[in-house]
Amino acid sequence: MTKKLSTSEVGNFCATLPDFAAEREAFLKCKRTPRDLLEDCIARIEAAENTVQAFAHLDLDGARSAADRSTERYRAGTPLSPIDGMPIGVKDIIDTRDMPTQMNNAFFKGHTPRTDAACVQATHAGGGIVLGKTVTTEFAIGRSGPTVNPHNPKHTPGGSSSGAGAGTAAGMFCAGFGTQTQGSIVRPASFNGVVGFKPTLGAISTDGVHPLSRSHDHLGVLGQSVDTVWALTRWVGEIAPSQDSDGIGGSADGVLGPRHPTRLAVPRTAGFDELDDASRATFDEKLDAFRNSGITVIESDDDPFLADVTARLDRVVDISIRMVAFDMRWPFRSYLKAAPEHMGPRLHDLVELGNKVSLDEYRMIRAERADLRCRIQELGRSYDAVALPAASGPAPEGFEYTGARTFLLYWSFLGFPAVSLPLMQVRSMPFGLQLAGFGGQDHALMQIAKQLCAEFG
């Protein structure tokens, strides 16, 4: 991996990607093997990783051994699960006992946990193939890592699940675990032109995932198709749910059936002011395409209840970060005390902000969130889902700024499911459509996502 590819060469890797659902059919018919798929992924890594820099750590030997075991199971007709043989990347804030977990921070350089996170254990139990650890921004909220956008290496891949988004887009693996506290799954999925799914808060255990905000932290998946993302999410959600989770729904075989929506809500929040003319026009054109297909699309001006919800969503931008900062005081106060020089400016700023948020204010924000959740659930009586941009436009050029969070904060704050679908382009760069659902309705949301990708992708 010594050559750096040109912009067009790297972009070519995003043109045709292996879809695990199709690959698995070939495994079952003994026309292909998991080792074949893995070697295809490794070839892409060897060609593009020096440019894309999606990985913080690679374990190709371990991946090949796991692929060979998976190949033997398919030949014997005994695959372990719907994810058996799936090449997977693991975000580098998620514990792995056989690989370092370094959080893109010098304080954790060389740190190797003694146990795997719950999602990693579930992956191994299902025969998934862990290729390595993918780059994250610092502690999933601070300084950017070295990863670039494979569609154009001059542009950010988005954060904080930078390596998961870029590596998936370049075909280095079929899916990657990401986390989202404010926008860290949906935004990189949008920027890199892949599917990114943030399930309902608590649907999947975050045991072994470095915490940022107990009120906002979601574990989810970025992948090359809705089917692939669902297969991994559903498996892990059943094997490693949170203690109070009712599971993620769907059939045990991981097969996702499509569902045609009849009514979509579009809350025209203040976030739309962040869109440039081309991005706004592209989003509106997609809404027109939905309407032309028979879907009723209702906007804030046409529904008083939706207008009220829209105004309340605009409040989220100011209060979400205060809630996150309050939660971050521990363990980040301890980190700043132990090694202040290793902590980036944003971490210092957020801990300082958290120190200014009183417990009474935190309780008031929680109460406001509870009220908004009830109103959004009521919205679900009239609509199948909510449609929003998945970012404030395509990926910006440069790497200091990983993109605005506004459109992503709403459903992160609520803790309800959301998915970015690669249905739009602006200036030859991906721009995702965000489909947002209602609490506990993960399966229904992904059924709609599958239908929209099939019909409008």
Residue 116 near residue 205, CB atoms below 8 Å:
no
| 160 belongs to the catalytic site | yes
Q: What is the pLDDT of residue 12?
A: 66
pLDDT surpasses 90 at 226: yes
Rg (CA), the chain: 21
Separation CA 128–CA 130 (nearest Å):
6
Separation CA 309–CA 119 (nearest Å):
34
Which CATH superfamily groups domain 263-456? Answer: Amidase signature (AS) domain (3.90.1300.10)
Query: Which among 70, 81, 144, 160 is annotated as catalytic?
Result: 160
> Identity (one letter) of the amino acid at 366?
R
77: left (phi over 0), alpha (psi -120 to 50) or beta: left
Domain with residues 7-239, CATH architecture = Alpha-Beta Complex (3.90)
Backbone φ and ψ for 230, nearest 5 degrees, come out as -65, -45
pTM summary value = 0.97
For the segment 419-439, what is each residue's pLDDT rounded down to a tens digit?
A: 999 999 999 999 999 999 999
For the segment 19-75, what is each residue's pLDDT rounded down to a tens digit?
A: 898 999 999 999 999 999 999 999 999 999 999 999 999 999 999 999 999 999 999
Closest CA to 30 of 96, 80, 74, 67: 74
Separation CA 102–CA 347 (nearest Å):
16
> Identity (one letter) of the amino acid at 300?
S
Alpha helices (H) along 95-177? 118-125, 162-169
Residue 90 near residue 134, CB atoms below 8 Å:
yes
For the segment 403-421, what is each residue's pLDDT rounded down to a tens digit?
A: 999 999 999 999 999 999 9
Q: Which two tokens stand for residue 451?
A: 């239908």
Residue 334: asked if its preceding bond is cis (omega within 30°), the reply is no
pLDDT surpasses 90 at 242: no
| 184 belongs to the catalytic site | yes
**Percent residues over pLDDT 90 in the chain:** 92
Q: What is the pLDDT of residue 38?
A: 97
Residues in the chain: 457
Query: Which among 91, 198, 286, 450 is annotated as catalytic?
Result: 91
DSSP class of 219: E
Same CATH fold, 263-456 and 7-239? yes
415: left (phi over 0), alpha (psi -120 to 50) or beta: left
Strand 429-436 relative to strand 385-389, pairing: antiparallel
Query: Which among 70, 184, 392, 412 is annotated as catalytic?
Result: 184
Question: What is the end-to-end Cα distance of the chain in Å, rounded?
Answer: 33
DSSP class of 3: P
Domain ranges of the chain: 7-239, 263-456
- DSSP code per residue over 85-137: T-EEEEETTB--TTS---TT-GGGTT---SS--HHHHHHHHTT-EEEEEEP-S
Separation CA 342–CA 118 (nearest Å):
28
